[in-house]
Amino acid sequence: MRRVLVLIGIFILAGLFAFPLRNAIYEVVVVPVAYLLWAIGLLYRALPQFIWWIVVAVLTLYMFGKSIVPNLKLPRRRVQKSTPPKGDVERLAEWMHKSEKGVYNKWLVANRLGKLAYQILLQRDNGRPRSLFAPLEGPDWEATVELKNYLHSGLQGSFADFPSKKGFFTPPAKTPLDHDMREAVEFLESKIDNSSR
């Protein structure tokens, strides 16, 4: 009952204001709507009929597709997830894993370990200048000849200095890069432990 009374009140108010505001409503609502309909009619007559048929066909196909597959979405451009940069340890582990495949990866590991040996010796010298081409030697540095050659080849050599595989039947020549990497890592670990004491 209350709703009916509210609706009757709205109609009475609308009737009271209809006559005094008819000029304002005519200017604000009727004239713009009539102009818009006139412009749409002009546009409809100006464009060829086949364009309107194409528009109707596209809209019909779109509504038909939406009714069949309501959750249909347009394919979005795939955003590639950026991979975080690899750290030194992760890169070294990757090179060690690939070291069986060729000289270059063996040299990368030897180069990294040679740089690490150089930094350990530099720290032991208490910051005194040390040439990168100086022999990797120092007090309490009991490395074997093979290990010295391995670290020296990595730090001061290049992978191009060593032969790659020559053929299927001839094994590659033995190089200093074929030294056991684990022995080099264990040796450097022991030197870091000694220097931190």
pLDDT of res. 17? 73
Cα(34)–Cα(45) distance, rounded to whole angstroms?
A: 17
pLDDT of res. 157? 80
| Continuous H helices in the chain | 2-18, 22-25, 31-46, 49-68, 88-98, 103-124, 145-156, 181-196
Q: Across all residues in the chain, what is the average pLDDT?
A: 77
Are 28 and 93 in a shared domain? no
The residue among 193, 191, 195, 192 whose CA lies nearest residue 142 is: 191
Does residue 127 register a pLDDT over 80?
Answer: no
User: What's the pLDDT band for 193 if we cut at 50, 70, 90?
Assistant: low
Are 166 and 97 in a shared domain? yes
SS3 of residue 167 by DSSP: coil
| 3-17, 49-63, 73-87: which is most confident | 49-63
Q: pTM score, two decimals?
A: 0.49
pLDDT of res. 145? 83
Domain that holds residue 54: 2-68
Q: How far is Cα of residue 57 from the mean position of the Cα atoms in its chain?
A: 41
Burial track 129-150 (b if 16+ CB lie within 10 A, e otherwise): eeeeeeebebeebebeeebbbb
What mean pLDDT comes out for the span 74-102? 68
Q: Are 155 and 137 in contact (CB under 8 A)?
A: no
pLDDT of res. 197? 47
| 63-72, 117-126, 155-164: which is most confident | 117-126
80 phi and psi angles, rounded to 5 deg: -80, 130
The tally of domains found in the chain comes to 2
What mean pLDDT comes out for the span 24-29? 79
Are 64 and 92 in a shared domain? no
Give a yes or no: residue 18 inside a domain. Answer: yes
pLDDT of res. 140? 79
Distances (CA, A) of 124 to 72, 73, 84, 132: 67, 64, 34, 15
Does residue 113 register a pLDDT over 80?
Answer: yes
Are 126 and 187 in a shared domain? yes
Give a yes or no: residue 80 inside a domain. Answer: no
More confident residue, 36 or 151: 36
The percent of residues in the chain predicted with pLDDT above 70, rounded, is: 78
pLDDT of res. 168? 57
pLDDT of res. 52? 83
Are 188 and 127 in a shared domain? yes
Exposed, middle or buried: residue 186 (CB in 10 Å: 0-12, 13-18, 19+)? exposed
